[in-house]
Amino acid sequence: MSPKPKRDEIDTYLKFAVQLAHEAGRITLRYYRQGVAVDLKADESPVTIADRDTEAFMRERIMEQFPDHGIIGEEHGRHNPDARWQWILDPIDGTQSFIRGIPLYTVLLALECSGESHLGVIHCPAQDETVAAATGKGCTYNGEPCRVRATARLEEAWVNVTNVADLARRRPRFTEALLRRAQSVRTWADAYSYLQVAAGRTDIAIDPVMNLWDIAPIKPIIQEAGGRFSDFNGNSSIHTTNALVSTGPLHDELLALARLDEGDAQDPG
């Protein structure tokens, strides 16, 4: 069982995380729309000097403030892997958007202990938007409390999918059901989709492929905003490879739809 952090402890961590996300965001803005060079990582995903420099700054700040903590970063790997507390970093989520000058990329932070994420921050520097949450503390949008919408019918729901074509390749029946039944299926990018759900603007966000640094901030944010988080199989661990978030009343129906591509499952609608 994950140990529960003390109230003053989590307050300190959350305040630091929000401040760090904003500081990191300002670094990304120095490179934004400046025509930075793009390299390809081993998995063919793009990376820029902005990704690397921003994460290096974040790691330095964490090591100064919490020298006994560990770090898991997308660009620079692990530091102090045996530490009880692990900061999980994605300096630029949505690098493709960043490269193209689209203002929906985000800075992501989470803090994990014993396999559970206890806080999360999604900061969109170019839009000056931030959602942040910690266990038992609720969720805020730009410092004010926020909640997911109360939508209970898929026919009234707005759905965010980062890449509809990719979801259709992996889950064709699930995708067809969403396109046929949801009020709207849109493609806001990456973690910005989850910010939209937490802020009460849209109802569902779906990603068929994700990494730990993508997922770890999302779980506490969505849960503290009153929504539900899981993977396509209904598991709520941050150590999974896809994500499905929603307003609470929609979630079981979405899980049933996600199973349409498995065997003889039938569309519940």
DSSP secondary structure of 142-173 = TTEE--------GGG-EEEES-HHHHHHH-HH
269 within domain boundaries: no
Whether residue 129 sits in one domain with residue 78:
yes
This prediction's pTM: 0.94
Please give the pLDDT value at position 263: 61
Distance CA 141, CA 122 (A): 10
Whether residue 161 sits in one domain with residue 112:
no
Q: Which residue has the higher pLDDT, 228 or 35?
A: 228
- In the listed set 126, 145, 164, which residue is the last one of a domain according to the structure? 145
Q: What is the pLDDT of residues 43-93, one digit of tens each?
A: 778 889 999 999 999 999 999 999 999 999 989 889 999 999 999 999 999
Residue 147 near residue 225 (C-beta atoms within 8 A): yes
C-alpha distances in angstroms, 269 versus 180, 182, 213, 255, 256?
A: 10, 11, 34, 12, 10
Whether residue 44 sits in one domain with residue 136:
yes
pLDDT band at 3 (very low <50, low <70, confident <90, very high): low
Please give the pLDDT value at position 1: 46
Q: What is the pLDDT of residues 204-228, one digit of tens each?
A: 999 999 999 999 999 999 999 999 9
Whether residue 133 sits in one domain with residue 44:
yes
In 10 A of CB 32, how many CB atoms? Answer: 18
Distance CA 168, CA 176 (A): 8
Q: What is the span of the domain harbouring residue 80?
A: 7-145
In the predicted structure, residue 251 carries a pLDDT above the cut 50: yes
User: Domain of 211: which CATH number?
Assistant: 3.40.190.80
pLDDT band at 38 (very low <50, low <70, confident <90, very high): confident
Q: How far apart are the first and last CA of the chain?
A: 37
Whether residue 100 sits in one domain with residue 56:
yes
Please give the pLDDT value at position 32: 95
